[in-house]
Structure 1
C-alpha cells in the first residue's frame, strides 16, 4: 500500500484511549462495571496500550464513574499497558493511588468561567489543589500528568488568549509536571490555532511533552490531528466510536474517534500497532451496549480498500 505522507511526521504515535472516562461520563444509562472492564480488555486485545480509564470525582457530579476502583480491579495490571485516571483534588488522588493507577491526571480550565462550571471553583483554587496533589503524589511515588481544558476556546468567553494557556502551563511545569494535554473541550480548535498553541508552548517550555485532545464538534477534529502531526506532536487522545462530550459545556459533542484516528494515521504511513478491524468490532459492541448510533465512521464504512462482491449491490435501473 502506498503511504507517501510519512516524511515530516512523527515516526510513531501514542494513542491515549479516553472512551471509558470522557466517553462514558456523559452516558445517562448505567453501564455495568463488567461491561466497562470488558470494553477495556477488548481494546487492549486490539492493540491499544494507554488508557485514561476513569475519573475519581464526586459520584454526585459524575455518577457513571462511581465504580472507577472496581473497573480497575477487574482490569488488573495488564503487561505493557499504562492506566491513568483523572483526579480533581487530593481525595481523588488518594483514591486513584489506592486503586493502583500508573499515573494521575490533574486538570484546570484555561478560562475562569469554564473552570467554575466544570469544577465549581476558581482557577486559582484548582491550581492550589493541583499543587497539593503533586506534593502528595511525589511522596507516594506516583506520576502526575496535566491537562488544560478549553485551551483553544471557551463556550462562555469565546477566545482564550494564548498568554493564559502559557501561564497555566508554566505554573503546572513549576509543580513538576512535564507532560501536558491541551484539551479542545467543545471543538473550538482549528489547524491554525493548533499550530499557534503548540509553537508558543514549545518556545516557553522546551522540555514539555505535549499531547492533544480534540473533539469533533465542528467536523475538523482529524484536520487538527494533521496540524499536530505537522508540528511533530506524537500523543493524541481519542475515544472509542467517537463517544464523549463535556457534560458541563453547552454544545459539546464527541471526541475524535479512535478507529478513525487509527485509520488516518496508518494511511499516512504511521504505524499504530492497532488491529483496526478488531477495534471496529469493539466500537460496534459499544454502540450495541449503549443502544444508540455513535459517530464513528470507519466502523461503519470499513477501511479504504475493503471491498464488496459486485452481485451484493443492486444495479441501477432506468
Structure 2
C-alpha cells in the first residue's frame, strides 16, 4: 500500500454512496420522495457513513433533484453521517443553508466542453461563480468538498490535460475544499490515467485527501479503484446497484457499484464498515423501487456470496 494513504487507517476505506444524486439524476422517471428517504435510511443502517442525497440545481433541468431539501430535512435528524448535496451557484448555496445542510460539494469540470454542457459556462467562469458560494457556506460552518469532473477524459474535448485538473483543484482548495474528488465522468479512464492524475494532484496539493468518483462505461471501474488503492486513495464514490450517469455527458454509463466495490475491498482485507447482508436488502429494495434490473455484478448473482477476507 502507498505510504501516502489519504485516510486515517491504511486498511480502511470511506465509501460515499451517490445513489440518491448521481444514481437517480439520469433516471427517466422521478422516484417518489418517500422512496428516497427509505433508501437513505437503509444505506445508513447498512453502515454507510457518507451519502450524496441530492443537488440544489434548477429542477427544470434535473427534475429528479427537485426534492433534495425534503430528503435532507427528513434524513439529517436521524444520523451523524455526512449527507452531501451539490451546489453550483449562489442560489444553490442559499437553498443548502435553508435546508440545514452540514456538508456540500462543489463540482467543476476540468474541461470547457463539459463545463458548458453541465454548468452553462466555461471552467473559469464556473470557478468564479463558486467563490461567493464558498464564502456564504463557510460563514455558516458548512464543510465543503470538491469534485473535478472530466478529470481524465471529456466527451467533448477528449483526453484531459492534467494541468487543467491541477488549476481547477488549486482554485477549489483555495476556496476551502477539504477533500478533492477526481471524477472519471464518462468511464473512459484506465489505471494509467488514474496514476498520472492522482500523483500530480497529490504533488501539487500535498496533505489534501483525494477521492475517486468512477464510472463503469468500459468495465474499468474496479481496475481504476484498485489502482487508486495502490496509490493510497481511501475515499471512493459509488452507487448501489451500479446505476447512474451524467445527463450532460453523452455516453456516460453507471457508477461503480457500491455492492461490487465492497465485495472487492472486503475480499482484499480492506475494511469499509458496511454490513453486506443489510446492503443486499437495500439493493433489493432499490430494484423493486425502480422496477428493473440493476447493473452491478452482484445484483445478478442468485444469492449473496460469502465474502472472505484475504488470508
* TM score, norm. by length of structure 2: 0.93
Structure 1 counterpart of 2:234: 234
Structure 1 counterpart of 2:201: 201
Structure 1 counterpart of 2:216: 216
Structure 1 counterpart of 2:282: 282
CA distance in 1, matches of 2:96, 2:220: 34
Structure 2 counterpart of 1:88: 88
Structure 2 counterpart of 1:99: 99
Answering whether residue 182 of structure 2 is matched by residue 182 of structure 1, we say yes
Check whether the contact 2:102–2:141 (CA below 8 A) recurs between aligned residues. no
What displacement does 1:208 show? 1.4
SS of match in other structure, 1:36:
helix
CA distance in 1, matches of 2:215, 2:122: 24
CA distance in 1, matches of 2:145, 2:20: 18
Answering whether residue 247 of structure 2 is matched by residue 247 of structure 1, we say yes
CA distance in 2, matches of 1:162, 1:124: 15
What displacement does 1:76 show? 3.2
CA distance in 2, matches of 1:106, 1:193: 22
What displacement does 1:11 show? 1.6
Answering whether residue 42 of structure 2 is matched by residue 42 of structure 1, we say yes
Question: What is the RMSD computed on CA atoms of the aligned residues?
Answer: 1.7
Check whether the contact 1:108–1:149 (CA below 8 A) recurs between aligned residues. yes
What displacement does 1:7 show? 11
CA distance in 2, matches of 1:303, 1:180: 33
Q: Deviations over 1:14-38 (max 9, x none)?
A: 0001000001111121211000000
Check whether the contact 2:2–2:231 (CA below 8 A) recurs between aligned residues. no
CA distance in 2, matches of 1:138, 1:188: 35
Q: Find runs of 4+ consecutive structure 1 residues off by over 4 angstroms.
A: 5-9
Residue ranges of structure 1 left out of the alignment (5+ in a row): 307-318
What displacement does 1:158 show? 0.7
Q: Superposed, which structure 2 residues align to 1:233-312 within 5 Å?
A: 233-301=233-301, 302-305=303-306
Flag the 1:95–1:7 CA change in 2: closer, same or farther, 3 A: closer
What displacement does 1:304 show? 4.1
* Number of residue pairs aligned between Structure 1 and Structure 2: 302
* TM score, norm. by length of structure 1: 0.91
Structure 2 counterpart of 1:109: 109
Structure 2 counterpart of 1:26: 26
